[in-house]
């Protein structure tokens, strides 16, 4: 390992969490350097070959820190990276550390949105969501090793390359690991500039509703046609009626498309619908309502495709214990942590079905999926120390 325990300047009487933070203070410059390196290795989900450079960097960083790595190949993705400590006993319980290296930004984004550091912030595509979280994870593991801590529950790290497009290929790996894990820590970015931890997430459904009608000449024989577009207008109103702000249910018709030409009665139309809910019962109820839609226009047909790809991440007794532990460790670091519910989904939605999960443990910043995305560099040390404290803590029995 290239890091040295001698970099620590703390007294042996200090609490472990503060020793971790002091060690990480000595590595702050290297944290920023690695984050810049990852950001400039553009890695959009949609370009599988673009994942190789960033995965190679991460693989090297893990091996330097004493981890065995395995590349899990993908069919339509760049694959995924599994990291396990070289000295881990096979029978020892483990915790799953989860993150992703893909971004929503296309290749060439750096030309319009270059990497820059200004006023204690690092700007660049994917910095906040979520390459900053990957950097925190690597240095948290390094700090634990440097202090010669031996977590009772071994950390096992999975980095996937398809989270931003639904994790379809990586979900089986995540499920398999989560089913046997003691707990899961997800290094997605924290929520807001306050760095809130995500203890709940909405479930996310995506549905495509197709309406089939009958084409006819709009001027000569309009009565022979059945307008799919007209029928779709009735459906759209029914869909929006499913919204329920008090229950946290959002049903949004994001795009509509249909028809052939202005002088042809539209034989087909479709709507793409995004659905978000807070609990599994509402997910089932809304999906049933969508699949039960009946046509208003005589002779038209409705075909519904899609599903809930990410179930809601709900708070459980185990995840509540994790949250309370995070608060306790945060307090030792002088952090006043807050919890939050996120409207977006992550792989934490999946792990929460099988094991206590805490999400949003990554970087503090702003602008996920937006121009101006950045990481607050001044908070990286504290967030890495918080994560290292969680990973190494023996104050949890779940």
The pLDDT tens digits for 83-117 are: 999 988 888 899 999 999 999 999 999 999 999 99
Give me the pLDDT at residue 1, please.
33
CA contacts within 13 A on the Cβ side of 136? 40
Q: What backbone phi and psi angles, to 5 degrees, belong to 92?
A: -75, 140
- 12 pLDDT more than 90: no
Look at residue 68 and give its three-state secondary structure. Answer: strand
Angle between helices 28-40 and 16-25 in degrees, nearest 10: 60
Give me the pLDDT at residue 3, please.
33
Q: How far is CA 58 from the centre of its chain?
A: 18
Cα distance between residue 47 and residue 72, in whole Å: 17
Q: Which of 11, 378, 368 is nearest to 190 (CA)?
A: 368
Q: What backbone phi and psi angles, to 5 degrees, belong to 195?
A: 70, 40
Q: Per-residue pLDDT averaged across 146-171, rounded?
A: 96
Determine if the pTM surpasses 0.85.
yes
Q: Per-residue pLDDT averaged across 282-290, rounded?
A: 98
Give me the pLDDT at residue 388, please.
97
Q: Are the beta carbons of 102 and 163 closer than 8 angstroms?
A: yes
Q: Which of 91, 93, 84 is nearest to 66 (CA)?
A: 84
CA angle 176, 66, 364 (to 5 degrees): 70
Residue-wise pLDDT tens digits, 197-241: 999 999 999 999 999 999 999 999 999 999 999 999 999 999 999
For the chain, list the domains and their CATH numbers: 5-201+313-392 (3.40.630.10), 203-310 (3.30.70.360)
Give me the pLDDT at residue 5, please.
32
Contacts of residue 219, defined as CB under 8 A and 6 or more positions apart, other chains included, come to 263
- 384 pLDDT more than 90: yes
Output 277 or 11, whichever has higher pLDDT.
277
- Output the average pLDDT for the chain: 94
Reported as a pLDDT band with limits 50, 70 and 90, residue 398 is: low
Residue-wise pLDDT tens digits, 18-67: 999 999 999 999 999 999 999 999 999 999 999 999 999 999 999 999 99
Handedness of CA 66, 146, 20, 379 (dihedral sign): negative
């Amino acid at each position: 390992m290239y890091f040295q325990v001698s970099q620590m300047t703390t007294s042996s009487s200090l609490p472990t969490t503060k020793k971790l933070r002091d060690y990480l203070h000595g590595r702050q410059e290297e944290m920023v350097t690695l984050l810049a390196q990852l950001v400039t290795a553009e890695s959009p989900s949609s370009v599988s070959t673009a994942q190789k450079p960033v995965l190679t960097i991460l693989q090297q960083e893990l091996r330097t820190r004493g981890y065995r790595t395995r590349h899990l190949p993908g069919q339509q993705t760049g694959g995924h990276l599994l990291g396990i400590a070289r000295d881990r006993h096979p029978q020892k319980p483990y915790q799953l550390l989860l993150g992703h290296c893909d971004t929503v930004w296309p290749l060439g984004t750096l030309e319009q949105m270059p990497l820059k550091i200004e006023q204690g912030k690092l700007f660049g595509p994917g910095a906040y969501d979520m390459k900053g979280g990957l950097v925190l994870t690597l240095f948290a593991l390094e700090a634990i090793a440097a202090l010669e801590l031996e977590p009772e529950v071994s950390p096992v790290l999975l980095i996937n390359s398809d989270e931003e497009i639904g994790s379809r290929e990586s979900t089986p790996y995540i499920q398999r690991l989560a089913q046997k894990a003691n707990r899961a820590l997800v290094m997605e970015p924290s929520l807001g500039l306050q760095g809130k931890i995500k203890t709940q997430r909405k479930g996310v459904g995506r549905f495509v509703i197709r309406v089939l009608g009958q084409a006819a000449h709009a001027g000569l024989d309009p009565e022979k046609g059945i307008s799919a577009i007209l029928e779709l207008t009735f459906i759209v109103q029914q869909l929006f009626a499913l919204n329920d702000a008090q229950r946290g249910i959002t049903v949004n018709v994001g795009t509509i498309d249909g028809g052939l030409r202005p002088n042809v009665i539209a034989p087909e139309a479709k709507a793409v619908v995004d659905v978000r809910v807070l609990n599994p019962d509402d997910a089932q109820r809304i999906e049933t309502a969508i699949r039960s839609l009946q046509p208003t226009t005589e002779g038209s047909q409705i075909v519904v495709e899609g599903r809930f790809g990410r179930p809601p991440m709900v708070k459980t007794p185990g995840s509540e214990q994790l949250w309370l532990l995070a608060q306790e460790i945060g307090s030792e670091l002088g952090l006043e942590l807050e919890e939050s519910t996120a409207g977006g989904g992550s792989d934490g939605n999946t792990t929460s079905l099988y094991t206590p999960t805490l999400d949003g443990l990554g970087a503090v910043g702003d602008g996920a999926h937006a121009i101006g995305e950045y990481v607050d560099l001044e908070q990286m040390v504290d967030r890495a120390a918080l994560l290292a404290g969680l990973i190494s803590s023996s104050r949890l029995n779940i």
